[in-house]
Amino acid sequence: MKTEIDIDSLPGTAFQRDVWRAIASIPRGTVVSYCRLAQMAGHPNATRAVASAVGKNPIPPIIPCHRVIRSDGTIGGYSGNGGVEKKRALLASEGVVFK
C-alpha cells in the first residue's frame, strides 16, 4: 500500500517541496538523475539547487530520495541515516543493484 504524504505540510521552501513532490513520483525500482529530477520538479536549470533540496529531505526514505543518482550513473550520496550503504541497501531491496 502506498503511503500518501502531505508534502505541503512539511517544513521547507516552496522550491524544496517541488523537488520532494517530484521525488515522491519516482516509481519503486526506478532511479533518475539529479538533472532529470530538476526537469520533473519544473526547475530544469537548477540541478545543483535540486541536489541541495534532495539532501534536505526531512523524511527519507518515505520521500524516496535514495532513487536519485548522479548523471554518470553512479550511486551518489545519501543524507539519510546509514549514508551511501543504506542507499545501496534500499535500492537493492527494490531490485536496483550498484557495484
Residues taking part in catalysis: 65
- What are the Cα distances from residue 17, in Å, to 12, 28, 40, 55? 7, 20, 12, 12
Length, in residues, of the chain: 99
**Counting runs of H as helices and runs of E as strands, what totals does the chain give?**
4, 2
